[in-house]
Amino acid sequence: MDITRLGFGSWAIGGGGWVYAWGPQDDDESVATIRRAVELGINWVDTAAIYGFGHSEEVVARAL
CB-CB contact of 30 with 63 (8 Å) = yes
What predicted TM-score, i.e. pTM, was given to this entire model?
A: 0.86
Q: Give the bridge partners for 12, in sequence order.
A: none
Q: Which of 51, 52, 59, 60 is catalytic?
A: 51
Query: What proportions of the chain, in percent to the nearest 5, are helix, strand and coil?
Result: 40, 5, 55
- 51 included as an active-site residue: yes
Rounded Cα–Cα distance for residues 47 and 32 (Å): 17
Per-residue pLDDT of the chain (64 residues; tens, 9 = 90+): 899 999 999 998 988 877 777 888 899 999 999 999 999 999 999 998 888 888 999 999 999 9
